[in-house]
Amino acid sequence: MPTVSMTVNGKAVSADVEARTLLVHYIRDHIGLTGTHVGCDTSQCGACVVHVNGKSVKSCSTLAVQAEGADVATIEGLANGEELHPMQAAFKENHGLQCGFCTPGMVMSAVDLANNMKNLDEATIREQLDGNICRCTGYHNIVKSIKDGAERMGG
Amino acid sequence: MYGFDYHRPGSVADATSALGGADDGKYLAGGQTLLATMKQRLAAPSDLVDLGGIADLKGISVSGGTVTIGATTTHAEVAASADVQGAIPSLAALAGDIGDRQVRNAGTIGGSLANNDPAADYPAAILALGATVTTNKREIAADDFIKGLFETALEEDEIITSVSFPAPTSGAYMKFKQPASRFALVGVYVAKTADGVRVAVTGATSHAHRGPRLEAALNENFSASAVDGVEIPVDHMNVDIHAGAEYRANLVKVMAKRAVEACG
Ligand SMILES: Cc1cc2nc3c(=O)[nH]c(=O)nc-3n(C[C@H](O)[C@H](O)[C@H](O)COP(=O)(O)OP(=O)(O)OC[C@H]3O[C@@H](n4cnc5c(N)ncnc54)[C@H](O)[C@@H]3O)c2cc1C
Ligand code: FES
Ligand code: FES
């Protein structure tokens, strides 16, 4: 079995896994960070979005071995101790979640968006959020949260 | 997904020898198509040879009006490239409209072309722009590359290394998206090139193809109204729950008109 090593939320991690292990299972089952969710397992829903070297990807459609040596960020790495990340705070204050299942992926996609695109308007947010599905369909407040969060992040 | 042996070669030569040493190996690029196929057990390769560690396959360069894109360059990188935006804005826009943001961050131009999905966007781009697909063995003209449903001119162990696009005078790609998958229900790419007008259609039939009737009409009169008089044959149109043959044939005309108008 290959030994797969990477940095997750700033910490060096390593595990012996089968080559077919998906990144999401590596993160959840081997590293024990269960904030990243599996909604569909078919690249549709975005509940599994994490950042690999600063870019948002679907961890259900990435092999752990493909992320060997990479810098990975998950939802658990955003907050600074008790202090929420500005995007998390914006989701909380704008009621950007209902059941919360899609939220880790939504927030990780939103942080990638805010980091890489400036002056986000509503149409751009909706378009760039194509890969994230909310089964509770609370899109209105999710979009509001992302606009607010991006502004708090300085965009 | 069944188990497999994983290889991460650092060069094209090492990649072909890894595949040569495998029982039933496959190359892996972004994994956005292949991993889904393996999860469904529609593919069960004995070995995956990951092209992601080969530096030579990545990157974009422009020289003498030709844009060359390395095979493992992601859709997001093509969309964001100032070089592509400057030389062939319609190609940057096409890449920026593939799938969703996360698919674009992982999926590659080489993977998309090797896979040759009947509704994929890049096959239309290489046909309309008269691109050349370069492999570890040869150069293949776009018109010879696309062969059929998920079928290309690539041999079993052949690796796409880059794709070269001559910049057209102007061009535009219009896609009517299947809203759930964002693949093209029908997409039409129109380009004014040194060899006249080239038109490519994707999503409509078993594989992307040139539109000779549309090309003839537009070479005579480059205007949206010229498209009105063109008869689009319905016999070979794809039929599925999303659209029937007549509807798709009509969409070809509507997308062609929009593309002509966007060309200016
Ligand atoms: C949700 C979703 C939406 C999508 N929407 C669209 C869309 O709107 N339009 C669109 O065009 N596509 C779409 N796609 C497909 C996407 O563009 C994929 O990136 C692409 O089809 C495959 O590229 P890949 O790099 O992921 O290749 P992989 O999945 O890694 O490989 C695909 C195939 O190509 C072979 N291969 C890969 N690279 C090479 C190479 N350099 N030389 C030879 N063979 C190679 C592999 O062996 C495999 O057979 C979508 C995908 C998903 C999951
Ligand atoms: S679990 Fe990855 S996209 Fe749904
Ligand atoms: S809040 Fe329930 S799925 Fe989005």
Q: Do B11 and B71 belong to one domain?
A: no
**Residue A115 in contact with partner chain B when CB distance is under 8 A:** no
- Provide the domain count of chain B: 3
Whether this model's pTM surpasses 0.95: yes
Q: Once rounded to an integer, what is the mean pLDDT over residues A68-97? A: 97
Q: Within 13 A of B245's CA, how many CA atoms are on the CB side?
A: 7
Helix/strand/coil percentages in chain A, nearest 5: 40, 15, 45
DSSP A69-132: T-EEE-GGGTSBTTBPPHHHHHHHHTT--SS-SSHHHHHHHHHHHHHH-SS--HHHHHHHTTT-
**pLDDT-flagged residues of chain B (< 70):** none
Partners of A11 in the beta sheet?
A8
Chain B residue whose CA is closest to A65: B6
Whole-angstrom Cα distance, residue A144 to residue B56? Answer: 42
pLDDT at A106 over 90: yes
pLDDT in the model for residue A129: 96
Sort strands B139-141 and B132-135 into parallel, antiparallel or unpaired. antiparallel
Q: Please report the domains of chain A, with CATH numbers, ordered by start residue.
A: 3-77 (3.10.20.30), 86-152 (1.10.150.120)
CA distance B79 to B198: 22
Last residue of a domain, one of B150, B166, B182: B166
Residues B62 and B29 in one domain: no
Question: Whole domain around residue B64: which residue ranges?
Answer: 55-166
Q: Smallest CA–CA separation between B20 and chain A, in Å?
A: 19
In a mutational test of the A interface, the residue from B37, B73, B101 whose CB has the highest number of chain A CBs within 10 Å is: B101
Q: Is the pLDDT of residue A155 over 80?
A: no
Say what the ipTM of the complex is.
0.96
| pLDDT value, residue B179 | 85
Backbone angles phi, psi at A96, to 5 degrees: -80, 10
Residue A134 distance to chain B (closest CA, Å)? 14
Looking at the fold, whether B252 and B176 belong to one and the same domain comes out as yes
**HSE (side-chain half, CA atoms, 13 Å) at A112:** 29
Determine the Cα–Cα distance for residues B27 and B19; give it in Å rounded to an integer: 8
For the Cβ of A60 lying below 6 angstroms from any atom of ligand 2, the answer is: yes
Q: Is the CB of residue B20 less than 8 Å from the CB of residue B157?
A: yes
